[in-house]
Amino acid sequence: MSLLDVKNLHIGFGQKDVVHDISFSLEKGKTLSLIGESGSGKSVTALSITRLLPATAHVKGQITLDGQDVLNADETNLRQIRGQKIGMVFQEPMTSLNPLHSIEKQIAEKLIVHKGMSQHDAQKQVCRLLDQVQLPRLKDRLKAYPHELSGGQRQRIMIAMALANNPSLLIADEPTTALDVTVQLEILRLLKEIQKSENMAMLFISHDLNLVEHISDDIIVMKDGVVQEAGKATTIFSEPKATYTKMLVAAQPGKRSDKPETPQHTLLEADKLAVEFPLTKSFFGKTKTVFRAVKDISFAVKHKQTLGIVGESGSGKTTLGLAVLRLLNASGRIKFKNEDILQLSQKQFLPLRKEIQIVFQDPYSALSPRMTVGDIIAEGLRIHFKDLAATDIDQRVCQALKDVEMDPEHRHRYPHEFSGGQRQRISIARALIMEPELIILDEPTSALDVSVQMSVLDLLRNLQDKKDLTYIFISHDLRVIRAISHTILVMKDGEIVESGDAEDVFKNPQHDYTKALFNAATLKGLAA
């Protein structure tokens, strides 16, 4: 017998329907995954099950949980359903947890409100829940606040809150998107262990097909609010029938197939590069203790090649990139075209800024919402090429948009009018227009859907061949690093633990940390 039954579900806002006639069922102990790209209707469908959609939404159809009609439940019954029968884990724990309340108060609140527990009994249960989600050390830090915890710890706190009242259904909406691969594997193992011990049903929402393939019993593929395909996970991935499903499966990054031509000269070389941040200062302002974010590392980047830098959060990847750009103070040597740029004053380095550009991680915050696309792309030209006429600037903006495969007429529009993938192309155009030799790309595809991610990677490879560009590509996604890089550095705690030809490192990793990263990325040991 099914625990959850959804029949002929329609969801709309105003005159627009965002979910069209979706039906599915979910049994106890099983995992059903909803997959699809942004805007496909996955999260909206999940929110309708808990009646958490805004009042402006109109919902038709039938949702039954353990024989109880959800859509027609009154407030009293609905509160009971949300508090005791359904637990929900959201994508971003930092925005889902209350920053003003301790972790103890936030977990205990569900026990006190929905089970009527006393404060004393609730505290005991909080400690048991922390053991369940494998956070025993936090039992001595119950008064800690969310900002004092790591991303993985915050997500485990969210899971503890969701499991507080032993729900029969857990809805997990992109619960590992913001996490490193090793933490992701830990969270997924935890969810599977709890599901097995509690015989809990799980509705899992994700755009990561590799993850979904390993965790799901059944899968529903959605596009524009319509079910494209549904069935057993093994069948969906081995024999996809819908064109859209085939596209998603084919869009997974693979290894870089092209090989560098004849050996290139070294464009950038770092020697004993170090970056430190002061932790404490004396009464007179003198630094007493420091945190070494990058520790005396050395590497080289060849002209027309891509150096991939991979590692988890806090490994020093982005700090390294910012040091190369002279946006952070560093010691050691950075030679760009045989000139030690760390010895240059800011004024002396200014002409070189146009030759070293950066594309940031988040295309939504990287572009000014108050400027047109044309002004955003042209901003660097106006700073570094002050003698250029307005018509010449406009021509170069048009060409930059063509280079990233966008319509030049879009230069008169604003960033909010574009999708995430289009915004990232605008960011790339902003870097390209300066005609740089080196572009640093800091997690440029992490915020994008899988098909958009692949189109951006294809664009970057094509631009590299066409314009003889050199890239430093920073990412925690090993599949993306493999698809774009010729050589890679693996970083941990500010140090390089392994480096070499990309395929050699992927095929035969030497360091234990590299092996652990690769095992986590391929989800070894996680079975549906």
Tell me the pLDDT tens digit for each residue of 44-55.
999 999 999 998
Tell me the pLDDT tens digit for each residue of 297-309.
999 999 999 999 9
Looking at the DSSP bridge assignments, the partners of residue 382 are: none
Q: Quick count: other Cβ atoms within 10 Å of Cβ 329?
A: 11
Predicted local confidence at residue 263, as pLDDT: 61
Q: What percent of the chain has pLDDT over 70?
A: 97
CB neighbour list of residue 90: distance below 8 Å, 6 or more residues apart: 96, 158, 173, 175
Predicted local confidence at residue 253, as pLDDT: 77
Given a contact cutoff of 8 angstroms between Cβ atoms, the answer to whether 500 and 488 are in contact is: yes
Q: Which residue has the higher pLDDT, 411 or 93?
A: 411
Tell me the pLDDT tens digit for each residue of 180-209.
888 888 888 888 998 999 999 999 998 888
Rounded to whole angstroms, how far apart are CA atoms 192 and 188? 6
Looking at the DSSP bridge assignments, the partners of residue 64 are: 5, 69
pLDDT band at 361 (very low <50, low <70, confident <90, very high): confident
Predicted local confidence at residue 125, as pLDDT: 92
Predicted local confidence at residue 525, as pLDDT: 64
Q: Token match 């003698």: residue?
A: 387
Please determine, for residue 242, whether its predicted confidence score (pLDDT) is greater than 80. yes
| pLDDT, mean of residues 449-460 | 88
127's tokens? 């400690």
- Write out 140-173 in H/E/C secondary structure: HCCCCCHHHCCHHHHHHHHHHHHHCCCCCEEEEE
Q: Token match 């990058």: residue?
A: 294
Please determine, for residue 528, whether its predicted confidence score (pLDDT) is greater than 60. no
Give the 3-state secondary structure of residue 437. coil
Rounded to whole angstroms, how far apart are CA atoms 89 and 169? 11
Domains of the chain and CATH, by start: 4-250 (3.40.50.300), 252-355+439-523 (3.40.50.300), 364-435 (no CATH)
253-267, 371-385, 433-447, 505-519: range with lowest mean pLDDT: 253-267
Mean pLDDT of the chain: 90
Angle at 412 between CA 410 and CA 414, to 5 degrees: 85
Give the 3-state secondary structure of residue 23. strand
CB-count burial class (<10 Å; 0-12, 13-18, 19+) for 417:
exposed
Predicted local confidence at residue 209, as pLDDT: 84
Rounded to whole angstroms, how far apart are CA atoms 49 and 71? 8
Given a contact cutoff of 8 angstroms between Cβ atoms, the answer to whether 487 and 470 are in contact is: no
pLDDT band at 8 (very low <50, low <70, confident <90, very high): very high
Q: What does pTM read for this prediction?
A: 0.84
Predicted local confidence at residue 257, as pLDDT: 65
93-102, 304-313, 350-359, 435-444: range with lowest mean pLDDT: 93-102
Residue type at 60?
A: K
Tell me the pLDDT tens digit for each residue of 65-106.
999 999 999 988 998 898 789 999 987 777 789 999 999 999
Q: Which residue has the higher pLDDT, 258 or 475?
A: 475
